[in-house]
Amino acid sequence: MPQDASVLFIMLDATRADRLSAWGNPRPTTPALDGLAAAGALFRRHFANSHATRPSFPQLMTGRYYFQNVLRPFTPDEHPREFPFSQGDPTAAFLPAVLRARGFQTLGVSAHPWLVAASDLGRQFDRLELVGAEATRGHADARDVVERAGAIWLARDRSRPVFLYVHFMDMHMPRYLPAGEPRFPVAGYDWRRRFKPNGEPLFHRERRRWLRADARDFDDLDRRHFTAVYDARLAHTDAQIARLLAAAREDDANLRRTLLVVASDHGEELGEEGRTDHTDSLADGVHHVPWIVAGAGVAAGQVCSRFTENIDVAPTVLELLGLAVPPGTRMDGRAQLGRDGRLVPRAGKPAVYYAWESYRAIRTRRYLLRENITGSFVARRQGDVVLYRVDRARRIRLRLEGRAARLAERLRARLDRRLARREALFLRGRYDAPRTRFLVRPEFWRLAPETRVSCTPVDAATGRRDLRVRGWLWSGRGVTVLRPGDGAPLLLTVSAPDGVYEVEAAARAIRPMPRLVGFAHWRRESFSSETPSVYVALGAVRAIGGHLSVAIPAAAAVGRHIVGLRLSPPGVASEAAAEPGAEDEELRVRLQALGYVE
């Protein structure tokens, strides 16, 4: 590896590996990326450690399974990874920060409105630019990203190495057809009758008002077209990447002094199992992502067929550059290429691990085991442990009995050995004392074993009879009591820094269910929104050992849909909500186009 090698880091947001030609897609989607893979190392079974951008980026850039949010704040007062009293981890090192400390220029070009200069990750760069785009389109086109990245590359300070990070969003919704027509059309299919130009379905809109990722109503032709649009955006991005590579080759024809890294934060489901988008389904379409390393002395034609993970990316880059992590810091991943540019002995792993606030999982060649939060509503509905047999593109859920139960115990033991200590260290030190109110959403509640709740996720298909249950009802977004039951309170525990809090149930008012007409409107008004409008005082409660236990009286949920618990530390006064400015409104429109907000 040359002493003065620069790094060109290409991030393909929402890109699944099996849609690249080098990973087996029969369509010619990625000739430029295929060429890079042939000229360097391709990691065939590479997996993201979580399902979405916000959890995945800390893993990619620190090589750690667990870390707080590093992107632009999104819901800072209601997500445990974003609470404003979160504190950094001095034992973690950001890849761009390590390189900057060793004399690299650290520059970035981003199409993602979360990856900006005013973020914890953005502050590790000398300069990070967000490429502008019409807000209703959500993100900039690859062509505009490459225009800016190419200009920055050519204008760099050539007296020292550069780390140039380039973030593409073209495979993320919304997905506009580059030429207005599918590059890979589905024969006999009139796509305009079924889909918008931005890729969203025109049919059954009410279903997707509840869950954007719902594709249970897609037929085979719909799925094929949806995939073809995705492939068209990927092919368009690949063509723009070819232009960026041409710019890099202008003064380094054989890329001998330029290390190329291609990675992805997560993949995307394309209608399989009745879902689109990148939910926490843990399906391979979401987690199996591309990883390519080439240039700067990396030997050509290398393929790693064992598992690798996104936490391996940062340590591999540092190893190739001959750089160690700073003293006192560590990474959970390990380098998969040596300083000689060749795969290390026994490259790869027998399994990969998924880690996020609401799940842990292990994926082996034949099995996927998921652990939900013990006592959570999801665990009540799915079980604390879910085991699948993976048969190529299919997942088959197994009953936890006999041989499957013994297998699950072995996989859980491996999961504990890999993640338990790391998770405990993360949880122990992630918060300072809170000085602001914060909201704990129901997805992070742990119910007491004796608490009885009917779990009925409400959506467009939910009928009156489904909601005629007595006592506590979980709707998928919150809890309510529509018909009186035994009057027992909802007993639960949440995570919170030690101290005394005034606790309130954050809720929305619910009118009585209509007897004749207007049920669909009532259902939507009652259960689709998660924005609280009323607060019911539950009293002062002390958190001990990082846990706060509370009993919500059944009466508090009659006529209300409780969508969170609001915790106020002592001395916090009520504050009027700030009026949104023009920049806030533009960001809201952009995030709405990306599917992040209602």
**pLDDT per residue as tens digits for the range 95-113:** 999 999 999 999 999 999 9
| pLDDT over 90 at 454, yes or no | yes
Would you say residue 496 lies in a domain?
A: yes
480 occurs within a structural domain = yes
| Residue 515 pLDDT | 87
Please say whether the beta carbons of 137 and 87 come within 8 A: no
Query: Which of 39-53, 76-90, 256-270 is predicted least confidently?
Result: 76-90
Residue 575: per-residue pLDDT: 56
Q: Are residues 442 and 421 in the same domain?
A: no
Together in a domain, 411 and 473: no
Amino acid code (one letter) for 301: G
For 300-311, what is each residue's pLDDT tens digit? 999 999 999 999
Copy the structure tokens of residue 378: 């999801």
Q: Which of 346, 368, 153, 381 is nearest to 245 (CA)?
A: 153
Cβ atoms of 228 and 189 closer than 8 Å:
no
CA distance 256 to 298: 9
As a whole number, mean pLDDT of residues 549-574 equals 94
| Residues contacting residue 249 through CB under 8 Å, at least 6 positions apart | 255
Q: What is the CA radius of gyration of the chain?
A: 25
Q: How many whole angstroms separate alpha carbon 106 and alpha carbon 127?
A: 7
Nearest to 310 by CA among 345, 276, 352: 352
Q: What pLDDT score was predicted for residue 3?
A: 74
Query: pLDDT tens digits for 485-520?
Result: 999 999 999 999 999 999 999 999 999 999 889 999
Compute the distance between CA of residue 598 and CA of residue 431 in angstroms, rounded to an integer.
29
Percent of the chain past pLDDT 70, that is, above it, reads 98
In a domain, 588, yes or no: no
Residue keyed to tokens 């996927």: 368
Which of 392, 408, 429 is the endpoint of a domain?
Answer: 429
- Statement to judge: residues 507 and 424 lie in one domain: no
Is it the case that residue 578 has pLDDT exceeding 70? no
- Residue type for 294, please? A
Same domain, 29 and 137: yes
Structural tokens at position 30? 């990625």
Are residue 102 and residue 198 in the same domain, yes or no? yes
| Phi (first) and psi of residue 144, to 5 degrees | -70, -35
Residue 461, C-beta contacts closer than 8 angstroms, at least 6 positions apart: 207
Q: Tell me, what's the pLDDT at 574?
A: 60
The answer on pLDDT for 169 being more than 70 is yes
Sign of the CA dihedral with 439 first, then 443, 447, and 451 last: positive
Answer yes or no: do 343 and 409 share one domain. Answer: no
Kindly state whether residues 340 and 378 are assigned to the same domain: no
Confidence of residue 54 (pLDDT cuts 50, 70, 90): very high
Average pLDDT over residues 445-471: 95
Torsion of CA 591, 593, 595, 598, to 10 degrees: 80
What pLDDT digit, counting tens, does each position of 196-241 carry? 999 999 999 999 999 999 999 999 999 999 999 999 999 999 999 9
Rounded CA-CA distance 20/26 in Å is: 9
- Please tell me the predicted confidence (pLDDT) of residue 557: 97
Q: Please say whether the beta carbons of 547 and 493 come within 8 A.
A: yes
Token pair listed for 157 = 């300070």
Q: Tell me, what's the pLDDT at 17?
A: 98
Residue 67 has pLDDT above 60, yes or no: yes
Q: Percent of the chain having pLDDT more than 90?
A: 92
* Lateral strand order in the sheet of 490-495: 446-447, 490-495, 547-552
Residues 54 and 102 in one domain: yes
Name the 3-class secondary structure at 558. Answer: strand
Considering 412, 429, 446, which residue would you say is the last residue of a domain?
429
pLDDT at 581: 57
For the chain, count helices (H), then strands (E). 14, 25
408 is a domain residue: yes
Q: Which of 30-34, 50-54, 345-349, 568-572 bottoms out in mean pLDDT, i.e. has the lowest?
A: 568-572
390: which 2 tokens? 């993976």
Question: From the centroid of its chain, how far is CA 397?
Answer: 23
Looking at every residue in the chain, the average pLDDT score rounds to 95
Looking at the structure, tell me whether residues 423 and 442 fall in a common domain.
no
SS (H, E, C) 337-388: ECCCCCECCCCCECCEEEEECCEEEEECCCEEEEEECCCCHHHHHHCCEEEE
Instruction: Label residue 583 by pLDDT band (50, 70, 90).
Output: low
- The answer on 184 and 49 residing in a single domain is yes
pLDDT at 251 over 80: yes
Tell me, yes or no, whether 578 lies in a domain. no
Could you list the residue range(s) of the whole structural domain that residue 194 is in? 6-311+319-349
**Amino acid, res. 533:** S
Average pLDDT, stretch 118-123? 95
Neighbours of 389 (CB within 10 A): 14
Conformation bin of residue 180: beta by default, left when phi > 0, alpha when psi is -120 to 50 = left
What is d(CA 35, CA 193) in angstroms, rounded to the nearest whole number? Answer: 37
User: What is the Cα–Cα distance from 502 to 405, expressed in whole angstroms?
Assistant: 43
pLDDT score for 228: 97
Buried b (16+ CB within 10 A) or exposed e, 464-502: eeebebebbbbbbbbbbbbeeeeeebbbbebbbbeeebb
381 and 521 share one domain? no
Count of the separate structural domains present in the chain: 3
Rounded CA separation 542/548 (Å): 6
Instruction: Give percent helix, percent strand, percent coil of the chain, each to the nearest 5.
Output: 30, 25, 45
Q: Are residues 228 and 257 in the same domain?
A: yes
This prediction has a pTM of: 0.95
Terminal-to-terminal C-alpha distance of the chain: 48
- List the CATH number of the domain containing 261: 3.40.720.10
